[in-house]
Amino acid sequence: MSNAQAVLESPPELSPVVFQKIRKLVYDTAGIDLREGKETLVSARLGKKLRQLGHRSYDEYLHRVTSDTTGESLIALIDVLTTNFTSFLREPQHFEFLKAKILPALEKRNRIEIWCAAAATGEEPYSLAFTLFEHFGAEAATRCRILATDISTAALAKARAAVYPVQRFESVPREWLPKYLLRGHGASEGFYKIKPEVARIVEYRRLNLIEAFDPGTVFPLISCRNVMIYFDKPTQAKIVNRMAMFLEPGAHFFVGHSESLNGIEHPFQFVKPAIYRKP
């Protein structure tokens, strides 16, 4: 093994100075709070990035990130540090509440729009789409729209492709599979693709939640699950109150079950854990 290979296989130590540089860059750009104690996580995840790109130091890598005028390197850095587990019908209580409480109240509407504000690789917006088709049947194709946003262009590309390994659908009722999915054959064996008529009701857009945004309408539901954990309280308050502006009166707001709005000022009424309502 050459010395160069050894260097690349063993990433350099993450010094306190470099950690603070990364922490400030990520906070200023995306509002993500890399608290003290996250050094091991940052070192492990960025160490892989250094090996992948052939950089010998974090400073060399950070120079690449900050000098990339496309912004893609910065997005890739943020993506590496925030990659989180997701799955279809994750935290099923939300989908049960949607089906039992929210959708029946929207029956008379010709147009139903939902915002999924942390879409990741698409499992959540497609889970919402399945639920809409279960409730409205084929009419969901023309009556419903899901705006799905995320900061990661790589995640959104996977979401738009709408192809997932079979194992990702373990929590999905078996009878839903032939209704909403196309089974892969040949080279695609072991994968499912979301049916086009289901995928078409989801519109993907890249969005950084700490930047000014306007989705162009108000919604009866915004789902912003499992992203608040990355923000400090002031950033959470800023995002939540801005989102409240795009909820209609009586609308609902979902957060992840490991999250709550405790400790920040907001206009919502508590309904049950991880579910809030705008008065």
Q: What is the CATH number of the domain that holds 28?
A: 1.10.155.10
Q: Do 181 and 161 fall into the same domain?
A: yes
Which residues in the chain land under pLDDT 50?
A: 1-8
Q: Do 65 and 138 fall into the same domain?
A: no
Write out the residue range of the structural domain in which residue 113 sits.
92-277
Burial of 70 (0-12, 13-18, 19+ CB in 10 A): exposed
Domain end point (choices 52, 82, 112): 82
Give how many domains the chain has, as a whole number: 2
- How high is the pLDDT of residue 80? 86
Token digits for 156?
């959104």
Domain end point (choices 54, 82, 110): 82
Q: Do 75 and 125 fall into the same domain?
A: no
Evaluate whether residue 20 is within a structural domain.
yes
Domain end point (choices 82, 101, 117): 82
Q: What is the CATH number of the domain that holds 252?
A: 3.40.50.150
Amino acid type, 75: I
Q: Do 173 and 238 fall into the same domain?
A: yes
- How high is the pLDDT of residue 84? 64
Give the SS3 label for residue 35: coil
Identified catalytic residue from 45, 51, 143, 168:
45
Q: Do 78 and 96 fall into the same domain?
A: no
Q: Do 96 and 198 fall into the same domain?
A: yes
HSE-CB of 57 using CA atoms within 13 angstroms: 5
Residues 19/39, Cβ–Cβ less than 8 Å: yes
Known active-site residue 45: yes
Q: Which residues, 6+ apart, have CB-to-CB distance to 240 below 8 Å?
A: 224, 228, 253, 261, 264, 266, 268
Evaluate whether residue 87 is within a structural domain.
no
End-to-end CA distance of the chain: 65
Q: Do 158 and 228 fall into the same domain?
A: yes
Residue 128 CA to residue 115 CA, distance in Å, equals 10
- How high is the pLDDT of residue 35? 85
Identified catalytic residue from 23, 145, 150, 225:
150
Q: Do 210 and 112 fall into the same domain?
A: yes
Span 129-146, pLDDT tens digits: 999 999 999 999 999 999
Q: Which residues, 6+ apart, have CB-to-CB distance to 125 below 8 Å?
A: 116, 119, 146, 148, 159, 202, 204
- How high is the pLDDT of residue 6? 44
- The overall average pLDDT reported for the chain is 92
Dihedral sign for Cα 274, 157, 212, 63, please.
positive
- How high is the pLDDT of residue 1? 43
Token digits for 277?
């309502």
- How high is the pLDDT of residue 48? 87
198 beta partners: none
Q: Do 97 and 125 fall into the same domain?
A: yes
Q: Do 110 and 66 fall into the same domain?
A: no
- How high is the pLDDT of residue 226? 92
Evaluate whether residue 9 is within a structural domain.
yes
